[in-house]
Amino acid sequence: MYSLTKVQTKVKMSGGNVCIEPTLSSMYLYYILVVLAIPSSIWLIGYIITELLMSLRKVPDLKKRYNAEWALVTGGGSGIGRSLCFKLASQGLNVVIVSLDDEYLKETTQQLKKSYPKLEFRSVGCVFSPGASYMESIISATKDINIQIVFNNAGFLVTGFFDQVPLGKLQANIECNAVAAVNVTHHFCKKLVSSKQRGCIVFTSSVAAYIPSPFASMYASTKAFISQFACCLNIEVKALGIDVCAVHPSPVSSNFYDKVDHRIELMESAQKSAVSPDLLPNEIFKSIGYCVLRDIGGMAIGTRMGTFFIPYNVFTMIFAAAAPYLPDYKNHNKNRV
């Protein structure tokens, strides 16, 4: 029997050899560490297995999976949205392309019609801003067709200190990244449920959804909302045959960062590892129906695995303490009014 007051290991001589026997206190410490490691082990195993299964899964044919004819993509004029439109068309789906009414939308629509002459493509030029009648345009363009596949991909980034950004720009960011996604989803989800049709609703979220993101507070907040919204909605409609998921891509080469007001060094460093948006549709499609949240790419997976064990409150406090010493903070704080 070991003494409860013993704190060091017990040393015993046996046949000229030194045997080290653990004391009761050291055994207690060992069991405590094992118990604490169990939740982390479960999380890691579940996360890694899911990611491996998704990467090994065949790309599903959404047209066959849902017996669908039409899909809709917001932000479909360029970047990830454009690549999604071409992937959907390659599976024989007609596509409604919702985007800003600019040259990107016109060019993408023309290229789709040229590449897939037997399919139909409808372009809806609109802006997702507060007070804009974008839902009227979308409803009008889709009133005679059944949309069973919806990709809420539209979004833009506002950078800078929250107090220095005009309120109207922040509100526009919320409208485009979150409110518009809710409006579009509500309209088409309601139609799917009432008609008892199967389908899917997919959201393009971001790594920023699960880490504190200074200098892009509104963008990160809207993406956190989108990921949580996808999880909640999935529970409500999964049993009806409607799949919902949100994806968190790693940096992508597109015009997404071209018009930001404040250049962020951390963001530009991440962009050096950006991949072509054409590489994403296959991975996004693999996620549909088999998971609700999916991290895609090295940065997204690495960030998740490197931060999951840190309590979010602690993470935020550490970040806040270190922020004033970051180059980005120092540079932009000079001109803070």
CA pair distance 232, 246, nearest whole angstrom: 11
In this prediction, residues 137-147 reach a mean pLDDT of: 97
Q: What is the pLDDT of residue 6?
A: 42
Token readout for 179 is 């409110």
In this prediction, residues 127-155 reach a mean pLDDT of: 97
Token readout for 137 is 């345009």
Q: What is the pLDDT of residue 81?
A: 97
How open is the CA angle 226-263-132, to the nearest 5 degrees? 45
In this prediction, residues 295-308 reach a mean pLDDT of: 91
3-state secondary structure at position 303:
helix
Q: What is the pLDDT of residue 104?
A: 96
91-113 pLDDT per residue, tens: 999 999 999 999 999 999 999 99
Q: What is the pLDDT of residue 326?
A: 86
Task: Report the top-level CATH class of 65-305.
Answer: alpha beta
CA pair distance 64, 92, nearest whole angstrom: 10
If you write DSSP's letter for every residue of 255-293 in order, what string do you get?
GGGTT-SS--HHHHHHHTT-B-GGGHHHHHHHHTTT-SE
Domain ranges of the chain: 65-305
- pLDDT at residue 10 greater than cutoff 90: no
Specify the pairing of strand 10-14 against strand 17-21.
Answer: antiparallel
40-67 pLDDT per residue, tens: 888 888 899 988 888 899 999 999 999 9
222-278 pLDDT per residue, tens: 999 999 999 999 999 999 999 999 999 998 877 666 666 666 666 666 666 678 899
